[in-house]
Structure 1
């Protein structure tokens, strides 16, 4: 008799469960501010979770909590099965090899006094790589984000916004992370540049298998890049699903409003969307 082997589903790369983040207010009798309430998400290997919501919804706070920049009040953050919400500084430094970050503003996230080679070499040498090997690695990183090999000798001010964001992506890739937290990485760019950067993110994922937590307020961006989507409002997750479902037939009125807020080129359709948006409002 032939029996079929049963395989358990692979555990997620990142598993956030019932997470609360509370900012303690200063002063007499001031009420603490609860930034995240009972937030649960998961990201599988090689997949992108789009985290969408308006400003102040808590999505950036969640990204910062995952990388250890915000203290957690309660709940769990597990990376590859290991609890990371309360790691010591030494263990957090080790984890920084596996979790990279791309920040929103490509103009302020790069040190203007350092050359591009120095910016990309810094995390490599900090984790024990020799200068010679780090210099070799810089060439490969510049190639992976489609920048010229001589870019390393130049300063950030010599590059456009899109090129600077490519440099920021190269820095996030320097230590070959398994997860990259992308905090509104295209919101400061024009539409044509946004499309090129999103294509770059997709190409890198196909080549390396890296996972993304992609924070954005734009459902059009989410539709383009995300496998799965979580929608945030007031520090809570209010709707989750595949990218296709959430960006086409959302069920929560707030998500429906976000979808209707994205412009379409047809004037009649846009007018109808505007009327429906006002009705929901």
Structure 2
């Protein structure tokens, strides 16, 4: 088995409670998984499940109260500000909103060159790299001289992907990177992610609430519920034959084009939800 690129072991993230004597809020509760080089791990769950918090903890932006995050054999659970900046060469992120992830006052070329210039890359070399990046994400070379407002949402997300690739990272955290896009644009951007992975060997932590998107992208899948890992395993198995009731509900929530089948899925999902609610009520009473 290939050694892991990233290992998350027993991760807990807590935030101070609101108000006097309030108990801390534990957003992530002992989560463990790993990512191998060149692999995509899908992290799926509904809003509030803790999936984005895990991504932030890996980036050093959320407080790790217990457990460890290990990258290339190094514990990065509590990086200094300097070490966190250094890690951006190897760990990058693509956010959900392509409109806010780019500086509106910089040209596309300047946005792409900025992380290289910060690291003292010669200007000519940075400009050549910008042209390579634009070609990699299928944007014309003259895009470098244009402003973000001149592009559609899908094109801006391509620019955001190019920026994440600028320093040749080995891991990219993709935090709901297609949820703000329409379905046809989503498909093209997902295809681009797959092509880039095949070309560069980069690994992805692909965070999404959509099990269908995660199934398309992921080699292995982790399912989160209220900050806990409830299912973890092979992507095809978890997304087609899930064992945990919560994952089964997520699967039934994914739309299908057949109206009759969709109606049946909706009924099955409601029945399953009610069954689990009754079980939880009985367990609480016991």
Measured against the shorter chain, the TM-score band is over 0.9
TM-score (structure 2 length as normaliser): 0.94
Deviation at 1:274, TM superposition (A): 1.2
| 1:107 equivalent in structure 2 | 99
| 2:25 equivalent in structure 1 | 33
| 1:274 equivalent in structure 2 | 266
Return 5+ residue gaps in structure 2 as ranges.
274-286
Return the match for 1:152 from 128, 144, 147: 144
Rounded Cα–Cα distance in structure 1 between residues aligned with 2:160 and 2:76: 24
Hey, which bits of structure 1, 4+ residues long, moved more than 3 A? Answer: none
TM-score (structure 1 length as normaliser): 0.96
Deviation at 1:26, TM superposition (A): 4.5
Q: Which has the higher helix share?
A: 2
Going from structure 1 to structure 2, the CA distance change for 1:122 and 1:280 (only over 3 Å counts) comes to same
Rounded Cα–Cα distance in structure 1 between residues aligned with 2:217 and 2:8: 21
Return the match for 1:60 from 29, 36, 52: 52
| 1:231 equivalent in structure 2 | 223
Partner of 2:64, secondary structure, is coil
Return the match for 2:190 from 192, 195, 198: 198
Range with bigger deviation, 120-129 or 163-172: 120-129
Deviation at 1:98, TM superposition (A): 0.2
Rounded Cα–Cα distance in structure 2 between residues aligned with 1:22 and 1:117: 39
**Aligned alpha-carbon RMSD (Å):** 0.8
Once the two structures are superposed, the pairs formed by residues 234-253 of structure 1 within 5 Å of their partners are: 234-253=226-245
| 2:85 equivalent in structure 1 | 93
Q: List per-residue Cα deviations over 1:71-95 (Å, max 9, x = no partner).
A: 2111100001110111222222211
2:172 pairs with 1:172: no
Deviation at 1:172, TM superposition (A): 0.3
Rounded Cα–Cα distance in structure 2 between residues aligned with 1:251 and 1:60: 23
Range with bigger deviation, 201-210 or 29-38: 29-38
Rounded Cα–Cα distance in structure 1 between residues aligned with 2:61 and 2:13: 11
Once the two structures are superposed, the pairs formed by residues 114-129 of structure 1 within 5 Å of their partners are: 114-129=106-121
Rounded Cα–Cα distance in structure 2 between residues aligned with 1:30 and 1:279: 36
| 2:276 equivalent in structure 1 | none
Partner of 1:240, secondary structure, is strand
Rounded Cα–Cα distance in structure 2 between residues aligned with 1:71 and 1:271: 43
| 1:4 equivalent in structure 2 | none
Rounded Cα–Cα distance in structure 2 between residues aligned with 1:112 and 1:268: 46
Rounded Cα–Cα distance in structure 2 between residues aligned with 1:178 and 1:33: 32
Rounded Cα–Cα distance in structure 1 between residues aligned with 2:70 and 2:259: 47
Rounded Cα–Cα distance in structure 1 between residues aligned with 2:140 and 2:159: 11
| 1:5 equivalent in structure 2 | none
| 1:140 equivalent in structure 2 | 132
| 2:70 equivalent in structure 1 | 78
Rounded Cα–Cα distance in structure 1 between residues aligned with 2:24 and 2:261: 44
Rounded Cα–Cα distance in structure 1 between residues aligned with 2:44 and 2:10: 18
